[in-house]
Amino acid sequence: MTSETGQVDQADLDQEVIRRVLNGSRDAFELLIVRYSDPLYRHALGMTGSPDVAEDILQQSFIKAYAHLGEVRGRFDAWVFRIVANACKDWLKNIRRSHVSYEEDDQPSTYSTPEEELDRNELRTDLEVALAALAPALREAFVMKHVEGRSYEEMAELLRTTVGALKMRVHRAREALQHLLEGKYA
Amino acid sequence: MMYDDLNTPEDHSDPELGYQPPRSKASERERAPAHRLPDREVPVPNSGATSVLHQWLDGDVNVSVVRASQGGNDAVDLWTKIHDEAETLRSRTTPLYVHKRIMDSLPDDTYRGHHPWYKRSITMNPAALIAAAAMLLGIGIIIARMAFR
């Protein structure tokens, strides 16, 4: 994450882009998409486990953000994050899936041997199944802390809750994951 | 001790219930905002080893402290694997076609109609620019000929 000054500068740049879009420059919105899509995509991917679903959630969230752009108060990145986070939680509440879809993935493999790739695929599948067993709020806290690498303070700001509550959720998520995975991997 | 927030942002107002019996004083007290529960204290049911593990995962203690605890080596091995997997996810980027897909699906006229035409920005490619310049030059020549005739 950037420094506080960097965040303020970024927020000013975002406000300028938002002004341009509201003045009728639709193409300027692409600047916000390019700037923020990666962290939002990773969040959606961590929450859903499916690249296809993550792409759909990202698309719907940016369309929603565009339609309501005049309502942004404060930081755009935090505002659009909450749109994506809510969409992910809604998806998790509505869909109870029993399969893992990381294999739909078309990103290149980074493993040195086929055996290593096989082991990592197995872990990935088991981790996804374990994550799917968590309540959405616990999964969200775990993904933000361990996949996105955010601090508790940053998470609290984005989710509008307390650091203590988030530590509790992360601890519960870790204990549940450890319970589900330690028999096979520890 | 840690705190979990019981006050969720959802609206908990009563749905339409039709007739409702009069409430007792006790239930009125429960409903009064001043008597809402504050953040609830939730004891963390950790053994010493689990507590040390969380501290390590939060970056507060060194891995050697966890390894020294009961079952610590197994826990460190498991979480190292999970972290490696998380690292892979952290390096993921949005496929480029998604940017285009999003832009293509945005409505054209959401904000355009809010401003008069002379305040809208225009986009001009080089060919159009050359054509416009040639047209202006032609008009200028015609005006000059008429003026000096």
Please, what are the domains in chain A? 1-104 (1.10.1740.10), 113-186 (1.10.10.10)
A159 close to B33: Cβ distance less than 8 angstroms: no
Which residue from B57, B74, B94 is facing A38, i.e. has the nearest CB? B94
Nearest-Cα distance to chain B for A46, in Å, is 8
Please tell me whether residue B92 adopts helix, strand or coil conformation.
Answer: coil
Does residue B134 lie within any of the structural domains? no
User: Which residue, A11, A127, A22, A135, is CA-closest to A78?
Assistant: A11
Tell me: the pLDDT tens digits for A41-76? Answer: 999 999 999 999 999 999 999 999 999 999 998 899
H or E element that contains A164: helix A163-185
Assess whether pLDDT exceeds 60 at residue B118.
Answer: yes
Which residue from A67, A165, A171 is facing B44, i.e. has the nearest CB? A171
DSSP B41: E
Alpha helices in B12-115 (DSSP H): 25-31, 48-57, 63-68, 72-90, 96-105
Nearest-Cα distance to chain A for B27, in Å, is 28
Chain B residues whose CB is inside 8 A of the A55 CB are 94-95, 98, 101
Please tell me whether residue B3 adopts helix, strand or coil conformation.
Answer: strand
Residues 6+ positions from A55 with CB-CB distance below 8 Å? A41, B94, B95, B98, B101
* Domains of chain B: total: 1
Share of chain A above pLDDT 90, in %: 68
Q: A162–B88: do the CB atoms touch at under 8 Å?
A: no
Task: Provide the mean pLDDT of chain B.
Answer: 74
Does residue B78 lie within any of the structural domains? yes
pLDDT band at B143 (very low <50, low <70, confident <90, very high): very high
Tell me: the pLDDT tens digits for A8-32? Answer: 688 889 999 999 999 889 999 999 9
Task: Report the residue of B53, B57, B70, B94 to disrupt the A interface, i.e. the one with the largest count of A CBs within 10 Å.
Answer: B94
Assess whether pLDDT exceeds 60 at residue A139.
Answer: yes
Does residue B44 lie within any of the structural domains? yes
> What ipTM is given for this predicted complex?
0.81
Domain that holds residue B37: 24-104
Does residue B129 lie within any of the structural domains? no
pLDDT band at B22 (very low <50, low <70, confident <90, very high): very low
Rounded CA-CA distance B90/B94 in Å is 11
Does residue B60 lie within any of the structural domains? yes
The pTM of the full predicted model, rounded to 2 decimals, is: 0.69
